[in-house]
Amino acid sequence: MATRRPAGDSEDALSPMTTRALILGCAGRTLSSEEAAFFRDVAPWGFILFKRNIGTPEEVRTLTDALRATVGRADAPILIDQEGGRVQRMGPPHWPAYPAGRRLGGLDDSAAAIARLGARLMAHDLASVGINVDCAPVLDVPVAGAHDVIGDRAYATTPARVAEIGRAVAEGLMAGGVLPVMKHIPGHGRAGCDSHKGLPVVEADLASLTAQDFAPFRALADLPLAMSAHVVFTALDPERPATQSSVVIERVIRSAIGFDGLLMTDDLSMHALQGSFRDRTAACFAAGVDVGLHCNGDLDEMRGVAEGAPALAGDARRRAESALARLPARMAAFDVGEARARFAAALSLAA
């Protein structure tokens, strides 16, 4: 299946098996022949799994191996949203249920240590089935009256506490061989609607945004990966969501926050974005994102996304390689059974 190259890309830039600046999903627990052929042709940088893709541990490991085989890269990133609480793609009966972010942030002075331990356990669960990137921590700071799409996913309502717990989660994941993705940069906490269903417009002034929304991301700007917010900030760009705004990406994410890691979009299929999939994807790259993310596994949509996405090159490639280089070559010894018992006891005592 041939895929049309984005305008301006040379034949050489997107030759067969040249890595495309994309992360894509698949429809089920196994790859169809059509999906496998598409991924071989497009060669996305990575993949993302959802609950629809999760069966037994053996089935998940078989799927992650099959996805990597299509692009011929053993280190190809495979992502998942494993936050805990209501956003947990892998859960019982094969994996434990983890607490929501709000519960972690509401613990006593041991909260950071408990959050770090929980994230280390999550990393063990993920790495054991071939997943090496977790879309966490959530660094959004919710405000009163905002939509609950963030809600209890947030660690706290103050930037300092969000940053403290977010740092612990990131450290726990990386200690277990899983890269963290901080989200949703530069902040989704004030959104008045769910960006899966519509486009949130935030009218807060820049001083308020800087002091609250942007602060946790600035504190964790050294992390390797971040996911953008499909949110309009009228104080910066009243016309475009952050994902498609060069003003927000250059002035805030890259400069004020100081993030020089790999910037991926939130899901390109969300209703916060408008236009054809080719056009909405191209607009994100024109604004300065490094990698596009499409999650729902719809092949027709992915074909449009692929038409709007360039090869992974330049600064985007540098950032992608730098992120993968953060994966530890070896991990310290870890007693999973003892750690699970200690984590459960800590939560029980806190309760």
Mean of pLDDT values over 191-216: 90
pLDDT tens digits for range 63-119 = 999 999 999 999 999 999 999 999 999 999 999 999 999 999 999 889 999 999 999
Catalytic one among 213, 266, 267, 290? 266
With a CB cutoff of 8 Å and minimum separation 6, the contacts of 334 are: 120, 124, 176
Number of domains comprising the chain:
1
**Residue 246 falls inside a structural domain:** yes
**Residue 332 falls inside a structural domain:** no
Mean of pLDDT values over 167-191: 96
Whether the per-residue pLDDT at 17 is higher than 70: the answer is no
Q: Two tokens at 62?
A: 């078989």
Q: Is 266 known to be catalytic?
A: yes
Q: What is the pLDDT of residue 351?
A: 65
Whether the per-residue pLDDT at 1 is higher than 60: the answer is no
Q: How far is the CA of 105 from the CAs of 85, 101, 227, 345, in angstroms? A: 13, 6, 21, 17
**Residue 103 falls inside a structural domain:** yes
Rounded-to-integer distance, Cα 281 and Cα 230, Å: 13
pLDDT tens digits for range 103-115 = 999 998 899 999 9
Whether the per-residue pLDDT at 5 is higher than 70: the answer is no
**Residue 346 falls inside a structural domain:** no
274 φψ region: left (φ > 0), alpha (ψ -120 to 50), beta (else): beta
Of 184, 97, 109, 117, nearest to 147 by C-alpha is: 184
Q: What is the pLDDT of residue 6?
A: 42
The CATH number for 296's domain is 3.20.20.300
Mean of pLDDT values over 154-170: 97
Q: What is the pLDDT of residue 192?
A: 74
Rounded-to-integer distance, Cα 77 and Cα 44, Å: 10
Q: In terms of pLDDT, which residue wins out, 80 or 144?
A: 80
**Residue 227 falls inside a structural domain:** yes
Domain containing 148 equals 21-326
Of 53-67, 98-112, 122-136, which gets the smallest average pLDDT? 98-112
**Residue 336 falls inside a structural domain:** no
Peptide bond preceding 186 in cis form (omega within 30 of 0): yes
Question: Pairing between strand 87-88 and 82-84?
Answer: antiparallel
Of 174, 161, 149, nearest to 219 by C-alpha is: 161
With a CB cutoff of 8 Å and minimum separation 6, the contacts of 204 are: 190, 213, 233, 235
Whether the per-residue pLDDT at 10 is higher than 50: the answer is no
| For the chain, percent of residues with pLDDT exceeding 70 | 94
| For the chain, percent of residues with pLDDT exceeding 90 | 87
Mean pLDDT (the chain, rounded): 93
Q: In terms of pLDDT, which residue wins out, 1 or 302?
A: 302
Angle CA(224)–CA(227)–CA(231) in degrees, nearest 5? 145
Catalytic one among 196, 205, 222, 315? 196
Q: What is the pLDDT of residue 11?
A: 34
**Residue 334 falls inside a structural domain:** no
Q: Is 196 known to be catalytic?
A: yes
Q: Residue 15 — pLDDT band, cuts 50, 70, 90?
A: very low
Whether the per-residue pLDDT at 8 is higher than 50: the answer is no
Q: Report CA torsion sign: 225, 229, 235, 240.
A: positive
pLDDT tens digits for range 225-283 = 999 999 999 999 999 999 999 999 999 999 999 999 999 999 999 988 999 999 999 99
**Residue 251 falls inside a structural domain:** yes
